[in-house]
Amino acid sequence: MMQFRDLKKQYSILKAEMDAAVLEAMASGAYIMGPQVKELEAKLAGYVGVKHCLTCANGTDALTLALKAWGIGPGDAVFVPDFTFFSSAEVIALEGATPVFVDVCEDTFNIDAADLEKAVLQVREEGKLKPRVVIAVDLFGLPANYPAIREVADKYGLLVLEDGAQGFGGGIEGRRACSFGDISTTSFFPAKPLGCYGDGGAVFTDNDEWAALIESYRVHGKGAFKYDNVRIGLNSRLDTVQAAVLLVKLKAFREYELDAVNKVAALYSELFCHSERSEESVATPVIPEGFGSSWAQYTIRLRDRQQRDAVQAVLKAAGIPAMVYYPKPMHLQTAFKPVLPSEAKDLCPVATSLCERVLSLPMHPYMTEEEIVTVAEAVLNSVQ
Ligand SMILES: *Cc1c(COP(=O)(O)O)cnc(C)c1O
């Protein structure tokens, strides 16, 4: 059976280097904050092009650390796309602030800057919450439209938090993802573009003051030293073993994996676009001019829920795993019911419709041409 993201194949290729790196970390005895953690942080900051990189326990904590550094809490409105993984919005409520869901663009899946402005104006008019932050998500590997988001953010005094959990490796006009926010974050969950062998995450910023606060928050709000605690924080560090894993994977990512996923995506799109059969029903991912994706997912749009579910079933029967990211928009999540007005069920029509029509196909740097063709043909044969 074909793999959706073949991490075992990746391991088999990196095995010699990976085993040596992990064994070295285990033999060293420096399991927490070992030298590999600092080395990784320096390499990640250099790759992304920001001054500070602080690793942490996972991508959700990375977002939480950013909100804590900014003192976001009760009475604050934080704008977030309605079409994303739960974490992006969860962290807002966890800090006691109020998530405000914003619709996304049909073609890029990312937050719609025009709808963001509408949502900010509505919050201001209601006068109950203070607009503070927009969390823009680089969904499926494509950076959000930061030039447009920045314009709205500047106009209304919002801080920009880039959720680059899926975006690491993408870019806009030569600038890399995880450098677009006032603070940016990523995740090293195994299936992300750059993943470790467990949980991990990182925060990026050019701002010295926020970096110092995050450094404190990630180790129990430490002050001058670990047992001097000046604020309530988290225990959110990246393990030395995971840093060792990531150093090996970052090298492969830079040298060939990012190119490889772009080739997979290009072949998929060519097969779908050149097929006469697909014209009406298979919409391929759109990468705007000047943008680059890290292809966390290759996500097609079908006509409606019925067709999407049928295609997924046909693929499954053929031994091809295809996933629905995401089946439910944020504003319909049960957990957010208490924080939403009752008329909220009609919010964000684009996100709601995408949840019914999207399907993510197998995507990873080690896919063979034969596998890509097999998937594309199975999709094309099933959309009739
Ligand atoms: C995976 C993911 C996160 C959370 O990362 P974890 O490391 O799993 O905590 C946050 N936002 C988005 C968009 C994600 O895809």
Domains of the chain, earliest start first: 7-102+110-249 (3.40.640.10), 254-382 (3.90.1150.10)
CB 60 less than 6 A from any atom of ligand 1: yes
- 1 or 270, higher pLDDT: 270
Closest CA to 236 of 92, 114, 378, 59: 59
List pLDDT tens digits, range 97-145.
999 999 999 999 999 999 999 999 999 999 999 999 999 999 999 999 9
CB 236 less than 6 A from any atom of ligand 1: no
CB 88 less than 6 A from any atom of ligand 1: yes
Amino acid identity, residue 305?
A: R
Ligand 1 centroid – CA 198 distance (Å): 13
Residue nearest to atom 2 of ligand 1 (CA): 165
CB 297 less than 6 A from any atom of ligand 1: no
What pLDDT, on the 0 to 100 scale, is given for residue 278? 53
List pLDDT tens digits, range 292-313.
999 999 999 999 999 999 999 9
Ligand 1 centroid – CA 247 distance (Å): 20
Ligand 1 centroid – CA 372 distance (Å): 26
List pLDDT tens digits, range 38-94.
999 999 999 999 999 999 999 999 999 999 999 999 999 999 999 999 999 999 999
Ligand 1 centroid – CA 1 distance (Å): 27
CB 85 less than 6 A from any atom of ligand 1: yes
CB 81 less than 6 A from any atom of ligand 1: no
CB 145 less than 6 A from any atom of ligand 1: no
Closest CA to 200 of 211, 188, 213, 218: 188
What pLDDT, on the 0 to 100 scale, is given for residue 272? 94
CB atoms within 10 A of CB 275: 15
What pLDDT, on the 0 to 100 scale, is given for residue 132? 98
What pLDDT, on the 0 to 100 scale, is given for residue 340? 82
Ligand 1 centroid – CA 381 distance (Å): 33
What pLDDT, on the 0 to 100 scale, is given for residue 175? 98
- Does residue 217 have a pLDDT over 60? yes
Q: Is 195 left (phi over 0), alpha (psi -120 to 50) or beta?
A: beta
What pLDDT, on the 0 to 100 scale, is given for residue 62? 98
- Sorting pLDDT into bands at 50, 70 and 90, what band is 275? confident
287 phi and psi angles, rounded to 5 deg: -110, 110
> By the 8 A CB rule, do 63 and 91 touch?
yes
> By the 8 A CB rule, do 326 and 166 touch?
no
Q: Which atom of ligand 1 is nearest to the CA of 62?
A: 9
CB 281 less than 6 A from any atom of ligand 1: no
> By the 8 A CB rule, do 2 and 217 touch?
no
Q: Which atom of ligand 1 is nearest to the CA of 199?
A: 7
> By the 8 A CB rule, do 161 and 178 touch?
no
> By the 8 A CB rule, do 273 and 284 touch?
yes
Rounded Cα distance between 291 and 73, Å, is 33
CB 82 less than 6 A from any atom of ligand 1: no
Q: Is the dihedral of CA 341, 346, 352, 356 positive or negative?
A: positive
- Does residue 279 have a pLDDT over 80? no
CB 242 less than 6 A from any atom of ligand 1: no
Ligand 1 centroid – CA 136 distance (Å): 13
Amino acid identity, residue 82?
A: D
Neighbouring-strand partners of residue 360: 299, 323
Q: Which atom of ligand 1 is nearest to the CA of 58?
A: 7
Question: Best of 88, 90, 91, 183 to mutate for ligand 1, by most ligand atoms within 8 A of CB?
Answer: 88
Rounded Cα distance between 340 and 100, Å, is 9
Ligand 1 centroid – CA 271 distance (Å): 30
Q: Give the residue-averaged pLDDT of 269-273.
A: 94
| DSSP reduced 3-state for 186 | strand
CB 312 less than 6 A from any atom of ligand 1: no
> By the 8 A CB rule, do 246 and 199 touch?
no
Rounded Cα distance between 307 and 326, Å, is 16
Peptide bond into 366 cis (omega under 30): no
List pLDDT tens digits, range 132-169.
999 999 999 999 999 999 999 999 999 999 999 999 99
Q: Cβ contacts of residue 326 below 8 Å, gap of 6+?
A: 83, 84, 85, 355, 358
Amino acid identity, residue 42?
A: A
- Does residue 241 have a pLDDT over 60? yes
Closest CA to 156 of 102, 91, 84: 102
Residue nearest to atom 5 of ligand 1 (CA): 59
Say if strands 76-81 and 130-137 run parallel, antiparallel, or are unpaired.
parallel
CB 294 less than 6 A from any atom of ligand 1: no
CB 140 less than 6 A from any atom of ligand 1: no
- Sorting pLDDT into bands at 50, 70 and 90, what band is 280? low
Total number of residues shown for the chain: 384
Give percent above pLDDT 70 in the chain: 98
Q: Is the dihedral of CA 55, 61, 63, 64 positive or negative?
A: negative
Can you give the pTM of this predicted structure?
A: 0.97
CB 101 less than 6 A from any atom of ligand 1: no
